[in-house]
Amino acid sequence: MSKLSEYWDAVYSCMGCGDCGYAIHSAIGKFKSCPIKEVHESPFEVYFARGKMRLAKGILDGRLPLSKELAEIIYQCTECGACHDTCHQTHNPNINLFVTRWIDHVEVWEALRQDLVKEGFAPLDQHARILKSMNDQSRLNPYERELSEKKEAISNLSGFVAEGTSEIGFFAGCTQSLMYSETLQKLGKIIEKSGIKVCKLPNEYCCGSIALRIGDMETATHLMEQNIKYFQDLGIKRIITACAGCYRTLKKDYPKYSDKELPEIINITEFLEELIENQKIQFNSSEPISVTYHDPCHLGRHMEIYDPPRNVIKAVPGVSLIEMKRNRNNAWCCGAGGGLKSQFPEMAVDIAKDRISEAIETQSSLLVTSCPFCERNLTDAISQDAEIKVIDIIDFIYSRI
Amino acid sequence: MDIILEKLREIVHKSHVSDTKYLTFAYSQNVDPILEGIPDYVAIPKSAQEISEILKLANEKNIPVYPRGGGCCEFGGSKPIGDGGIVLDLKQMDKIINLDEDHLIVTVESGISWAQLDEYLSPFGLYTGCMGPGSGMTASIGGGISHHSVGGGGGAKYGACTKQLISLEVVLPTGEIINTGSQANRFSKIPFGRFGNGPDLSGLFCGDNGILGIKTKVSLQVFPRPKFVECKTFQLKGNTARSAAKIMIEIRRRGIDVYDAMYIPDIVVSVFKSEKVILPWIENKIRRGLFFYTIEAYSQEELNEKVKQLDQIFEENKAKILGPEISDGNIARWHYKEQGHWQLYHPLWGLTPTSEPCTTECFVPIQQFPSLLEAIEQWEYEHTPEMDKIFEVTKVRPIVGSGPILLLGENSVEVTCGFTTYPHKDIREINLSLWKSMIDLVTKMGAQWYMMGDICSREFVEIGAFTPEYYSLLTNMKRILDPKNILSRGKFKLLEVEK
C-alpha cells in the first residue's frame, strides 16, 4: 500500500478553490501563498498546492503513474506550509472551516515523496548525493564533510560543559556545526555567562531532517534511532537546538516514528527568552538600531514559534523591531526548504530575493532570523551593496552583550 | 514534436505551453466532485495578441479552446467538456493597466483576482463595490464578468459585478480583437462609459460563460469606500425563511442601500453549530435561521439614520439582535471586517472528509425563495432511495438544503441549493442524476442562472428551458461569432449538429 493512500481523505478534501496559490487576504496580512508559483518560469497549476493535490487524486485513483517526470514536479516545493496555513485562513478563533480539519498539505507532499523514493523515481540527482553522504559512515552529514570535522567542531565549542555532565544537551546539528561554528562559539559564551550548564553532544548524529523531507525513510529512521539511543544513554532530559530544521524534526517528527521517551526539545529562541526573563543576559549596548525578523518556516508555520524570537529581539535595549509586510504565519518562505536549495538552487535564490526586497522595505539595518538554512539562502540572495545584513539571532544577541 | 504543440510554442513562450500528462491533468477539474475533462494542451498566454493567434490556430485545426480564469467554477465551466482541446490559463494576465482617479475607473487585465485588485485599490480609499464571487481571492475579474458573479460582498448595494462594467477588450473566437463601450469609438482617449455608440455589445459578453469571446481587458467603475460601517446579526423567529424574505422586501421598499443582507437558513445554522464552525452560535444557543446586514455611510449621521431605519424593520419582525462582536456570533462583522465574504461558502465543503456539494447557484425574486427552499425539502424526500444508496456506499448521508441567501441589487436573491456528496466512483451516476434533477427543479421554478458551466448550460437546453426563438437567436449569434464552434465547445449544446 502506498504512503499516499493513507492520506486519501486529505487529498480528496481539497476542493480546488485555489486560494493556496492566489489568496490575498489583507485583513489578516496574507499576501499570496506559494513561493514556487511566484517565481516559476512555467507557472502551471502543478507548481502550487491545488495542482499537486489534483495530481495526487490522479495517482490515488490509478490514472497517473509515479515517474521521474512526476518527481521533478513534486520536489519543486519548499514544504513551507503556506498553502496549509492559507487553507486554514479564517484565523479567527471563533470560526473554523470544515475542510481544513482533514488536510495537512506538508504531510501529503511528504507521503508522495516517500512513495517516489520507494518506487525508485527519487531521489533526484542532488538529493541522491546528499543522501549518500548522510549514509556514508565516515560522514553521516549532508555536506560531504568528514564526520571527524563535525565532532571536532562540537568538541571545540567553549562555554558548554562536557558530554554527560548535564541533563541539558545542545544539539548542534550538521549545518551550524559545519557552516556556522562561529555562531555556536558565541552561543557558548552567552550560555557560559548565564551560568547554566549545557553539555555538548559531539557524538550526535544528523537529525535526519533532510532525509525526511526528501522521503528517504530508511535513512531518516536509522539516524533518528541512533540519536534517541544517544540521548537515552546520556540521560538527557532537555535538548536545546539553534537550527529550525533540527528543532522541527526532533520535536515534531521523532515522536511520530518512535514510542520511546524523548527529551524535552526547545528552540534557541525559547531558551534565550528564558535567559532574558531570568535576567541571565546583561546587555551592554543600547545603540539605536532597526531590525526586522524573518520567521523560518520550520519554526513558524510548522511549530508556531512566533513570539519567543520577537520577545528576545525586543528585549535588547535600543532595538526597534519593524515587521515585514508578511510576517508570522503569513511570512514568505526564504526558499531554502524541502530540498529546493540543493536541487533547484536558482529558484531558491529567486524566492529569497523577494524576501530580501520585503526586508529592505522596512528600512531596517539587520534582517534577523533563527535558521541556518534561511540565513544562508537569504545571504545568497542579497546584493553586495545592500544596506541590510542577514544575521542569526545568536550573533545579534552576542553583538549587544 | 506534435505540430500543434510546436505552433503553440511559436505563439506563447515555450515554457508557457505543455502537453504533458501531469501538467494537463491538473486542468481537468474545477470546484465540483464529478465533472472532468483532460485537455490535450495547456497554454498560458500573456497578451490578447497571443490569444488571438491561438484562436486562429484553433480554427485552422478545429481544436476547441476553453478559457480559464481562477478555475473556481462549480459547474465545470473552465475545463474541457469531454477530453481534449486547449485550456488557456489566463491567470498570468494580471496587470493593472490604469487607475483613472478622476473618473474612478480602473482598467485591468482579465486574469487578475478580485482580491488582488481590491488590495491595489485600498490605499486610494477605493473598492470595486461588488467584490466579485465568493471565491474572489482566486477567481478572476474576467471570470466574474463571464458569469455575472456575486457572493463576494456588496451584492445588495452594487448588484452583480457586470453592473460595474465600463468596457471590455475581447478576443473573438475567430481571433479579432475588439473594444466595447466608449472604446468602440476609436477616437476615445479613455474608457468612460458602457452604453452608447449603438447597441450594448459589452452585454453580449457579460455572463456569456465564455462562449462568445475571451475577455482580455476589463474597465470597471470603482467607488470610494465609505468610512462609516455597521454590521449586525439577528436571530429570526417563526418561519425564518419567510421572515427573511419579508425583511428583504421591506429594506428595498424603504430604499435603504444595505451593502450586504443575508439570510442564513435554519439548516446552515444547525450544521454550523453541530460541526462547531461558528463557535459563538453554540455558546449563545442560536437555534434558528439568522439574518445579517452591513450598511455603509459617508458620515456618522447618515449611518445612524440608516441603522435606525433598519433596526426598526427587524424590531417589527420580532428579530432579536446578537451582540456586536464576532465572539457574540455577529457573523456580519467577520464577513465585512475580516473579508469573510470571500470565505463564507467554504464551509459548504468538507463537512466530513472529502464531502463536496453539487450546487445550484441562481437568482430568484425575493418573494420566491422560501418556496424554493420548501421545494428542495420535498425534493430530498422524493429522492430518499438515491440518498440511501449514497449512504450505503459512503456511510454518510448527504445534507440537502441551501447555503446563505444573499440579497442582490436587482430585488432578487442569490440562492445556492445543493446536496453534499462524495467523489466515489460507485455513486458517480447517482450524483450526476441527482444533480441534474435538482437543476431541473430549480430551473422549472423560474430561476435565472449566472454560472452555468458544463452541466447547467447543457441541462438548461436539454429540458427546453430556453424558448425556441431565444435559443435560435443565441445559436445564430454563436454561429456568426464562432462558426467552427471553437470557444467553450459543448456549453449550451450550441452548434452540436454542425460539430
Interface test with A, best of B18, B20, B22 (most A CBs within 10 A): B22
SS (H, E, C) A105-120: HHHHHHHHHHHHHHCC
> Using a CB-CB distance cutoff of 8 angstroms, which residues of chain B are in contact with residue A21?
138
Q: Do B275 and A98 touch (CB under 8 A)?
A: yes
What residues contact residue A120 under an 8 Å CB cut-off, 6+ apart? none
What are residue B155's DSSP bridge partners? none
Question: All domains of chain B, ordered by start, with CATH?
Answer: 3-89 (3.30.43.10), 96-224 (3.30.465.10), 228-342 (3.30.70.3450), 346-459 (3.30.300.330), 466-493 (no CATH)
Separation between Cα atoms, residue A368 and residue A359, nearest integer Å: 10
pLDDT of amino acid B472 = 97
pLDDT beneath 70, residues of chain B: 497-499
Asked if A317 and A345 count as a contact pair (C-beta separation under 8 A), the reply is no
> Using a CB-CB distance cutoff of 8 angstroms, which residues of chain A are in contact with residue B277?
95-98
Residue of B nearest to A94 (CA): B279
Using one digit for the tens of pLDDT, what is the confidence trace for A48-60?
Answer: 999 999 999 999 9
Using one digit for the tens of pLDDT, what is the confidence trace for A335-369?
Answer: 999 999 999 999 999 999 999 999 999 999 999 99
Q: Do A13 and B354 touch (CB under 8 A)?
A: yes
Residue of B nearest to A38 (CA): B92
Question: All domains of chain A, ordered by start, with CATH?
Answer: 4-122 (no CATH), 148-275 (3.40.50), 284-399 (3.40.50)
- Distance from the Cα of B324 to chain A's closest Cα (Å) equals 14
CB nearest to B115's CB, from A25, A46, A73: A25
CB pairs under 8 A between A and B: 156
Q: Do B423 and A12 touch (CB under 8 A)?
A: yes
Q: Do B353 and A69 touch (CB under 8 A)?
A: no
> Using a CB-CB distance cutoff of 8 angstroms, which residues of chain A are in contact with residue B122?
26
Residue of A nearest to B17 (CA): A42
Residue of A nearest to B13 (CA): A42
pLDDT of amino acid B498 = 47
Q: Do B343 and A89 touch (CB under 8 A)?
A: yes
Q: pLDDT 10s digit of each residue in chain A, 401 long?
A: 899 999 999 999 999 999 999 999 999 999 999 999 999 999 999 999 999 999 999 999 999 999 999 999 999 999 999 999 998 777 788 988 777 778 999 999 999 999 999 999 999 999 999 999 999 999 999 999 999 999 999 999 999 999 999 999 999 999 999 999 999 999 999 999 999 999 999 999 999 999 999 999 999 999 999 999 999 999 999 999 999 999 999 999 999 988 889 999 999 999 999 999 999 999 998 999 999 999 999 999 999 999 999 999 999 999 999 999 999 999 999 999 999 999 999 999 999 999 999 999 999 999 999 999 999 999 999 998 899 999 999 999 999 99
SS (H, E, C) chain A: CCCHHHHHHHHHCCCCCCHHHHCEEHHHCEECCCHHHHHCCCCCHHHCHHHHHHHHHHHHCCCCCCCHHHHHHHCCCCCCCHHHHHHCCCCECCECCHHHHCCCHHHHHHHHHHHHHHCCCCCCHHHHHHHHHHHCCCCCCCCCCCHHHHHHHHHCCCCCECCCCCCEEEECCHHHHHHCHHHHHHHHHHHHHHCCCCEECCCCCCCCHHHHHHCCHHHHHHHHHHHHHHHHHHCCCEEEECCHHHHHHHHHHHHHHCCCCCCEEEEHHHHHHHHHHCCCCCCCCCCCEEEEECCCCCCCCCCCCCHHHHHHHHHCCCEEECCCCCCHHHCCCCCCCCCHHHHCHHHHHHHHHHHHHHHHHCCCCEEEECCHHHHHHHHHHCCCCCCCEEEEHHHHHHHCC
Q: Do B137 and A24 touch (CB under 8 A)?
A: yes
Task: Tell me the DSSP string of B429-458.
Answer: HHHHHHHHHHHHHHHHTT-EES--TTHHHH
